[in-house]
Amino acid sequence: MVDLSVKLGDLKLDNPIIPASGTFGYGQEYAELYDLNKLGSISIKGITLEPRLGNETPRIAETASGMLNAVGLQNPGLDKVIENEIPNLKNIFTKPIIANISGFSIDEYVECSQRLSQIDQIEILEINISCPNVKGGGMSFGTDPKLAAEVTKAVKQVSTKPVYIKLSPNVTDIVEMAKACEQAGADGISLINTLLGMRIDIKEQRPILKNITGGLSGPAIFPIALRMVYQVYQAVNIPIIGIGGIMKAEDVIEMMLAGASAVQIGAANLIDPWICPKIIDDLAILCEKLNINKLTEMVGKAHVES
Ligand SMILES: Cc1cc2nc3c(=O)[nH]c(=O)nc-3n(C[C@H](O)[C@H](O)[C@H](O)COP(=O)(O)O)c2cc1C
């Protein structure tokens, strides 16, 4: 039997497959399709202090090998998530939960982190400083290493759970960003969020998205995500969750060889809602084919010894 278990710091997951924030809601819709307990963990939809309706529609556009979204952090707000969404998820899911948190100020990140870290079964706080679809928050923290470090420090002070910072690929130097977060006390790094992009309707001669720009995700971004995970693995000593364009078991192994300790699956859930359990099954078969007994031994294996 292949051992698919992986470790994120002290946290053990039965397998490395985690649905990515924003593509899995709070789990309820997918629970109608399969037993969520098959998953390693779930990163729930981004939480903000106040409820948000998100951006105006259209806020999704198709692209070659991917999609653009400008959802804009639609969520019921911290109180409702704590009152309803998390208890509902706990009724059907017994594995560790990753709480994905967004904010428009450091105080907002701090308040959300402090309250969410007190909930058992939430084992990781994933601080999204990389949302490209909201004004005045999100990505502005994720493109400046000083601000990223400030958010990290502030959240670490109030959190009793490991803090993972979710980085934006929309920067010149991803390594600088990751190092700044590590030095500020981050327990791990999630990367990547979506890449800023746009499409124009040639009949209307106007941008397709009401927000004009959106975040590109899906298989189109896999090589970029892989490159960033590889580079960051070389520069930091904290675990990395690899995200971006993963569609199949082979992609998971590739991401882990680059340095990811676990992975998140995003846009693929929107194409095939059964994709996560399928990838878990395929992963066991693929490991056997590749003579891999312990999946965790693949982490960072592609790095040439210097
Ligand atoms: C519709 C949609 C909503 C998203 N919402 C969030 C969010 O709330 N918080 C977050 O950190 N990332 C969010 N993301 C980004 C994904 O979690 C992921 O980082 C990104 O899509 C890249 O992975 P993928 O190519 O597998 O989709 C969202 C992505 C999509 C497509």
Digitized pLDDT (tens) for each residue of the chain, 306 residues in all: 899 999 999 999 999 999 999 999 999 999 999 999 999 999 999 999 999 999 999 999 999 999 999 988 899 999 999 999 999 999 999 999 999 999 989 999 999 999 999 999 999 999 999 876 666 556 678 899 999 999 999 999 999 999 999 999 999 999 999 999 999 999 999 999 999 999 999 999 999 999 999 999 999 999 999 999 999 999 999 999 999 999 999 999 999 999 999 999 999 999 999 999 999 999 999 999 999 999 999 999 999 775
The first and second tokens of residue 49, run together, are 């202090």
The first and second tokens of residue 157, run together, are 């002070």
CATH label, 6-54+71-194+220-298, candidates 3.40.50.2300, 3.30.450.20, 3.30.70.100, 3.20.20.70: 3.20.20.70
Give nearest CA residue, ligand 1 atom 2.
Answer: 22
Distance CA 52, CA 50 (A): 6
Q: What is the DSSP string of 186-246?
A: -SEEEE--PEEE--EETTTTEESSTTS-EEEESGGGHHHHHHHHHHHHHH-SS-EEEESS-
Give 74 Cα–ligand 1 centroid separation in angstroms: 12
- For 121, phi and psi rounded to 5 degrees? 80, -20
Measured from the Cβ of residue 32, the count of other Cβ atoms closer than 10 Å reads 8
Within 6 A (CB) of ligand 1 lie: 20-23, 45-46, 69, 71, 73, 100, 128, 166, 193-194, 217-218, 221, 243-246, 265-268
Strands (E), 41-141: 42-43, 60-63, 66-69, 97-101, 122-128
Does the predicted model carry a pTM greater than 0.75?
yes
